[in-house]
Amino acid sequence: MKRREIIKTLSAIPVAGGMMSIEPFVTSEIQKKPVSDAGLLSNPAEGALALGPQIYQSIGVEPVINCKGTFTAVGGSVELSEVRKAVDYASQNYVYIDELAMAVGKRLAAITGAEWGMVSSGCAAGMKHVTIACLTDGDPEKLVRVPDLTGFTKTEVIAPRYSRNQYDHAIRNAGIKLITVDTMDELKNAISSRTAMIYLFSAPQEYNEGPLSVDNVAAVAKEKNIPILVDAAAEVLTIPNIHLKRGATIVAYSGGKAIRGPQCAGLLLGKKDLLFAAWQASSPHHGPGRDNKVGKEEHIGMLAAVETWVKRNHPEEEKTWISWLEYISKKVTTVNGVSTKITEPQGVDNRTARLSISWDPAALNITAEEVAADLAENKPRIVIGGGRTNPREGTTSISISAHMMLPGDEKVVADRIYKILAQKHEKKEVVVEPPAAVLSGNWDVSVEYYSGKGEHKLILGKQEGNDIRGTHKSTFSMLDIAGKIEGKKVRLQSSYRDNAETVPFTFDGVIDGDSFSGVLYLGEYRSANFIAKRSESRQRPVNNITVPSYGGKKSDSW
C-alpha cells in the first residue's frame, strides 16, 4: 500500500459489523488515558538515556521492525552507513553554510545531471521554499513579507485535482491561493499574470497518462514561462531525471525515504536560478524559511546519500528483498489454508517488493486486523501495511513491504506471523448487547483538547436497534455521523475534509443517564476527552400554519 493511500485509509475509518472497525492502535486499551496522556500509543516508563544498541529501550520506547515502508511516522528509513559516517565527520567542524550549500549544489548537479541541486529540511520544506522563490523572484523585500502577499504580482498556484493531497499544505503555507483544475481548458483559463507556479504530484497514474500529464502541462507552462514543481517524495532517484526530462522545472524528493539519507533532509533538483532563489528563502537567511533549518550535517549527509546512490547495486538489492519475502512465504504457508503472493518492485514511487499473506478468517478464527494489532503491540514489535478483511470473498490478508527491512528481520517476521497463524484461536461468538438507552435527540458536546476546549453538537435521528445516524456539528462544519450503541457503550464516527486533508472523529464513550463521555479519537492528530449532555431545548407551541395564495387561489390554513 502506498504512503498516501494508507494515510487516506487512516483518515476515513469505516463503520463495520459490530462496533466500529478501527486501526489496531486506536482500539488499544492502553490509549484510553486522561487527557494528559490520551492518544499515546504507549506510556513509556521513565529512564535515563543509555548510549548503545538499547538506546530507545533505555527511555522506555520499544523499536519496531519496519515492514510497512518509508513512513515518517515510523522513522522513514535507516540511514546508510556511508551517510552516518559522513554526518559524524561533518559534525566535528564549523563551516559557512552558504559556502557549503553552493559546493553541495554544484556537486549534486554534477552527479545527477540537473542544472543545480539543493538540500532542504525535508521534501515538504523544499516545496515551500520553491513556492516562495516563484512568488518573490529573488527579491528580498518581497521575501520578508511572505506570507502576506499584499501588493505581490504573483499570488496563485495551480494544481490538477489528482495532485491535491495532504502535503500541499506546505505550498499553502506561503500564503498563496491554490487553484484546482480538472481539465486542460480549465488549466489554460486559470493561468494569468498572478500565476506563480504549477504543482504536480507524480504518484497518480494521471501524472503520466492523463490529459493533465506532466508532458501536456509542460507544453502549456513553457509557453507561458511558468515553473512546474513536481513532488516525487517517495520515489527512487532517477539519473538522468525523468521529471526534468519531461518538462518539470524543479523536482522534490524526500531525503530520508528511498535515498536513505538523513530523515530530516530533502533533495531539490532543477533550474539553477530558481534554486538560488529557493536557497535565499532558506535558513540561515531570515524570512519565511528560517523555521526549516538545514544543518551542515544534513547537507553533507544528503550529498553522501546521493554519492552512494549512484554506486549502489539496485538490482541486487531488489533480489535480496525478494529472497526475504520468499523466506517468510515459505514459513507461513506451512500453516494450512495460508497462501501468499509476491509482487516484484515496479515503477519509481514506493518501489519495493511486496508480500501478501491471505487466509480464510473463518477457518483460522483470526482476522488480518487482529494479526496486525498483535504484531504492532507485542514484542518483537512489527509494523506492516495494515490488515484488510473482505467479507464477500471470505478472505483476510496482510501486506509486507521489503525495502525498509534490515538483514535478519525476515526471520523474526516469519516466526512471529507463523506463531500467530499456527496457534489455535477460539471461534468468537459475536454477541451484540441490546442498547441500554435511546440516543435519539440533541446533544451538547464539550471537547477537552490538550491545550484548550471546543464545543460540538450531535443531532441524532431515530435509533434503529443498535444503529443510529445523524449530524455532527464540529467547529466549522455539519457532518454526517453514524454509529452504534451496545449496552452502555457508544461509538460514533464522522469525518471532516477540507483542502485534501481529513480529520476523522471517533467518539468512544459510555452512557450514564442523560450524558455519555469518553475519548474522541482524531486519527493522526491523536485524541481528546469529551462529554456529551442532552440539550435542554424548549419546544415552541405549534400554531396554525397558513399557506399563502398565489395566482388568485384561496389560501389554506390548518
Cα gap 7→31, rounded to integer Å: 20
Amino acid at 437: A
Set of cell numbers at residue 54: 538499547
Nearest by Cα to 32 from 538, 547, 518, 544: 518
Which of the 8 DSSP states describes residue 404?
T
DSSP letters spanning 145-200: TTT--TT-S--EEEEEGGG--GGGHHHHTTTPEEEEESSHHHHHHH-STTEEEEEE
Longest Cα–Cα distance of the chain, Å, equals 93
Nearest by Cα to 300 from 441, 104, 79: 104
Count CB atoms within 10 A of the CB of residue 240: 9
Show contacts of 39-44: CB within 8 Å, 24+ apart.
39/521, 39/522, 39/526, 39/527, 39/528, 40/526
Using the structure block, give the residue that is written with the C-alpha cell 511486496.
354
Which of the 8 DSSP states describes residue 57?
G
128-141 pLDDT tens trace: 999 999 999 999 99
Cα gap 272→285, rounded to integer Å: 18
**What per-residue confidence (pLDDT) applies to 547?**
76
Cα gap 430→240, rounded to integer Å: 57
Cα gap 413→406, rounded to integer Å: 11
The verdict on whether omega for the bond into residue 240 sits within 30 degrees of 0, i.e. cis, is yes
Q: Where are the domains of the chain?
A: 1-60+433-538, 81-309, 314-430
**What per-residue confidence (pLDDT) applies to 345?**
95
Q: How many CA atoms within 13 Å lie on the side-chain side of 436? A: 13
For the chain, residues with pLDDT lower than 50 are: 1, 3-40
Q: How many CA atoms within 13 Å lie on the side-chain side of 135? A: 34
Set of cell numbers at residue 62: 520499544
Count CB atoms within 10 A of the CB of residue 291: 11
78-102 pLDDT tens trace: 999 999 999 999 999 999 999 999 9
Cα gap 532→191, rounded to integer Å: 48
Nearest by Cα to 341 from 354, 332, 352, 359: 354
The pTM for the full model equals 0.87
Contacts of 519 (CB under 8 A, 6+ apart): 31, 32, 38, 508, 509, 527, 528, 529, 530
Cα gap 164→141, rounded to integer Å: 30
Set of cell numbers at residue 278: 529557493
**What per-residue confidence (pLDDT) applies to 15?**
33
Which of the 8 DSSP states describes residue 58?
G
Count CB atoms within 10 A of the CB of residue 72: 16
Q: Is there a contact between 453 and 436 (Cβ–Cβ < 8 Å)?
A: no
Partners of 533 in the beta sheet?
444, 515
Residue 256 CA to its chain's centroid (Å):
15
Cα gap 63→59, rounded to integer Å: 11
Class of the domain covering 1-60+433-538: mainly beta
Angle value at C-alpha 218, between 182 and 145, nearest 5 degrees: 80
**What per-residue confidence (pLDDT) applies to 480?**
97
Cα gap 399→357, rounded to integer Å: 6
Q: Is there a contact between 519 and 504 (Cβ–Cβ < 8 Å)?
A: no
Contacts of 388 (CB under 8 A, 6+ apart): 368, 369, 396, 397, 398
Which of the 8 DSSP states describes residue 350?
T
For residue 36, give Cα distances in angstroms to 449, 527, 529: 9, 10, 10
Residue 404's φ and ψ, nearest 5 degrees, are -105, 5
Strands 354-359 and 339-343: antiparallel
314-430: CATH architecture: Alpha-Beta Complex (3.90)
Class of the domain covering 81-309: alpha beta
Matching fold, domains 81-309 and 314-430: no
Amino acid at 513: G
Nearest by Cα to 90 from 82, 112, 254: 82
